[in-house]
Structure 1
């Protein structure tokens, strides 16, 4: 008989859980199906008896991770410490978020930990950090009520805590630089991928960052940590690992090769993410940085659309870029560029977009980008390398003389660097640059 599993929550919307679980079961040879059950809080008492009796197991997500507590006959230790249940089997509550979180490989012992937020994810992160021997734990959040709940839970769950625990309400900021920042807020999640959960001054070399958000992969939080010399990992591996552990709980007699399953399914999940959501990756850089070539190769590797802003301008205007400059001047070109970019950013589906060299240097364009679901990847290289590539190219109206071009480069470089979410050296071969970018943006390893 086919086994039945599912996910309860509200609202559920688009979820990767069904394809993940169905793929794991297929891989492990389990005859089963996984479905979603969108159940409002008020309706849970009516549905829960049937779920417990009819399903072979189910997952619980927001807002039911605590709502299912009264219906459990027992809790495993992890669920008790986290104060949340995300997996149910035979009326026993489990929490597989911890194993998913630990799969990120973040060292917490002896570290100064900053948790952003105080909801369910913060409960799990705080419990794990304290169990692992964190040196200190600082929590910053907007909600006084949820913060009090979190602190009360910590006090009731741990008999003795050696770590120094402090808590602050925004707009108060951390007093000390943390070693590790854990995001427990929805900031940066689709469809508001432009958000950051903290101020950029916290990003320093040597910092470790974890963001459980997997949509998009990567988040701006992850990219900006890496941009400033930190280590960072996103939530896609956690999503898969917690699903594998849930299947292990529901199917205790079956052996799961976790590494083999991860290797097979993670690339599929990335492809599914990019196929399902319209996140844009904007590739910026000075003339000669390789924006078009690298963006095209990256789009091919990611199996999503490639768009070139200059090409779209030429299609729209019916004229070459250097012709527009000659006939109408740079200021008129910038107006056209902004209008076309606005249309390109509305492209249906995910895409890698190669920008023009001057595009991000206009304040209007930077504002437009930050208000959209666009992540900015900057290609940098020493001026000598770029000049060697562009010298004598008649299609580049702003690169006729070295001295003037170098002056323009020096003016634009700090704007590029400040504005981008992550920066990549484009001096090597394009294929190597693309491999580096892809490895960074997938954010699967710390």
Structure 2
């Protein structure tokens, strides 16, 4: 997601940008594992909480009868969350240190809200998965690891929390770390870092713990500040989903026709030959407008308006790609989906499929298998997927689409399945 400030600064190639990088990360874990407390501790100890916000949390803590500052209230903003003591919604927080800027998504832990974890982790480059040191790896831990692997989150931090309640015992941490690392490794998670913490006390969150001298690794914040930021969206197969056609029709610009949207992947340049998909019509970029200013080059994730030579039929939902690198279109999609609706997804079901800015009708042709979280086996031909299931699907669309492999592009390799009757999101899909 590009911001207004980022676009204002985006007047030179990506290599010339500030060395201060941005990391998007999400937290996940079971109920009462301490996710909101960890986030609150990160914000509090890194001096990222405004004074008036901190005073409000102090008052709320006293109102709940707490004897110390309840850091979970820094993120549990909904009244229902505060009353129940659990996170319901995805809480986004923005903070920065001298070394890096952060966008954090604190996701719910209850199995009922696993769908929210999919939302929070869909744009994350790192996921912090919390485990209660007293309980170890549970089913929800495995589910969150599977979702992180499915969403191609490159970096996973296992935060073994509440170490103060197991007397900071190294064997407890080591056993949990080994079990989780083995499981996540089998899922294909490329990088796993295990850190023993106590979010309530503050051990190894921002400052190193004096109670765990046997641990020599980084604190959570230190790891967040130094982990390599992932793939540069400005590189790769260039893709521009058309969001809106601009025809001002003013006396100053009577013939102006621009195609507005956000570059999903790659870089576009004036003079470059492009193809509109699915029609296959070709043209050449005659101009690029960035915040009303003409530029010669633009890259992901900038929001721009492309001007093309000639007058070809292009509308919302079309995909502009370099002609020399145009992908094939198809009406058949094979993908892995995480089912998020309360109603099941069944073979033969008619759905809407939303890919970038294009929405088409489709049918679920087959559900070949469903993932079993316990042993990572595939149950063949389940017939349906119910809420929180992860499975393989085959989909036939009414119109051809240019869907990339999710491994190549998280933006153009993903899609949503939607109930055409009421607009409910049924499943999040990853192609390839």
TM range (shorter): under 0.3
Q: Structure 1 or 2: larger helix share?
A: 1
* Highest RCO, 1 vs 2 (Cα 8 Å, sep ≥ 6): 1
The TM-score with structure 2 as length reference comes to 0.26
Which protein shows a greater Rg? 1
